[in-house]
Amino acid sequence: MRLPKKLVTQRLLLRPIQKDDVDDIVEGINNLNVSKWLLKVPYPYHKKDAQGWVTKKIKKKNDMQFILELKSEKKAIGAMGLHQINLEQGTATTGYWLSEKYWRYGYGSEALGAVLDVAFNKLNLRKVEAAVFVGNPASGKLLEKFGGQIEGLKRKAVISKATGKIMDEYIYGILKEDYKKAVKKINKNKKLKRG
Amino acid sequence: LKLQTKRLLLRHGTKADVQDVMEGINNLNISKWLLVVPYPYTKKDALYWINLNLESKQKKNKENLNLFIELSAEKKIIGGMGLSKINEFQKTATIGYWISEKYQGKGYGSEALGALLKYSFDKLKLRRINAEVFVGNPSSGKLLEKFGAVNEGFRRKSLISKATGKIMDEYIYGILKEDYQKAVNKLKKRK
């Protein structure tokens, strides 16, 4: 199965990482308010770290990593991916970050809608999972918008590399049927808003 | 690596174990609870599994430690138990096991799990061990709970069992080092 390279939404372009994204990536992720919620991102975060991530991601298989480019500014404002894609199992995991300056404009929701559309409608996956550190409700709410349910709370699950703290973690699961129901609701609300 | 208990020896596999491994796993009552084991399970499958473990034994960064459970009295492989996703930075790993049907209900699983958990927490200095148990397999969950594991979640339609092709729900278990120590103290007291 060929994985799609690019997805376009109203305000965003989801595209592969390029080497010249490094500066934007450092700008977005070299910020504890962002990196403390991520598993493997060190703090401070240098250009060298970003270069390492870019190289690793370009090579990786069974993985669809997108940069979120804000079309109007031609700027990389975050990243989102489908990882551990297992077509035999019909499963994958998702993860994302958004540069702090660009929070609360609905960009995360716009991007996640596009990525889940690929996951469920193109790749025909049955389930997408995500792990969210306890204390990061914004990330959980985003998943819940698309039908994500908390399925577990793993105590002292992982150490955040940025802070060195041991974190509890929620396991979220979005089944295809959860997603479809949620999307119907979202579309209905849109129609109502438009009148 | 060898871990010795009263009745068992946990050790790496060799090609000579093929017959015993096949005998134990080529049984739907066993393999339906395992993720990646096909049914029927042939000699080729058993050899592949043994070779895979021999290869990972040679690797410098050990992500996996898969051992076989030998019944000392019979010099026979009666099960398997191992760690996967060993993460040195996180100090975590995932545990999994099977016991041949003929040898179930005799406390061998508990004996082996005690030994491997002791090694994991005391020697490898892990701080947390994960385990996943298909819903419908309560004996496996009880075994984990004996050593302090807490049921932390219920993953809906989480995986397809290779042996049966069925989509399975799964319990997530976690054993923290402190859970384990408390449980072991309790077990010792009872003895």
Choose the closest CB to B157 out of A127, A159, A161: A127
**Considering only CB atoms, which chain A residues are within 8 Å of B158?**
91, 127, 173
ipTM: 0.93
**Considering only CB atoms, which chain B residues are within 8 Å of A128?**
none
Q: Which two tokens stand for residue B11?
A: 């050790």
Q: Distances in Å between the alpha carbon of B61 and those of A61, B56, B85, B87?
A: 21, 9, 11, 9
Question: Could you count the other beta carbons within 10 Å of the beta carbon of residue B188?
Answer: 8
**Considering only CB atoms, which chain A residues are within 8 Å of B91?**
159
Please say whether the beta carbons of B99 and B34 come within 8 A.
no
What is the pLDDT confidence band of residue B62, given thresholds at 50, 70 and 90?
confident
Mean pLDDT calculated for residue range B22-37? 94
pTM (two decimals): 0.94
Closest approach of chain B CAs to the CA of A158, in angstroms? 6
One pLDDT digit (tens) per residue for chain A, 195 residues: 678 899 999 999 999 999 999 999 999 999 999 999 999 999 999 999 999 998 888 888 889 999 999 999 999 999 999 999 999 999 999 999 999 999 999 999 999 999 999 999 999 999 999 999 999 999 999 999 999 999 999 999 999 999 999 999 999 999 999 999 999 999 999 888 886
Report the relative pairing of strands B128-134 and B92-99 from DSSP bridges: parallel
**Considering only CB atoms, which chain B residues are within 8 Å of A91?**
158-159
Which of the residues B85, B128, B162 would you substitute to probe the A interface, choosing the one with the greatest number of A C-beta atoms within 10 Å? Answer: B128
Query: A161's torsion region: left (phi>0), alpha (psi -120 to 50) or beta?
Result: alpha
Give A 118-137 residues with CB within 8 A of chain B. 126-127, 129
Q: Which two tokens stand for residue B69?
A: 């459970």
Question: What 8-state DSSP symbol labels residue A4?
Answer: P
Interaxial angle between packed helices A107-117 and A176-194, expressed in degrees from 0 to 180 and rounded to the nearest 10: 130
Query: Are A151 and B153 inside 8 Å of each other by CB?
Result: yes
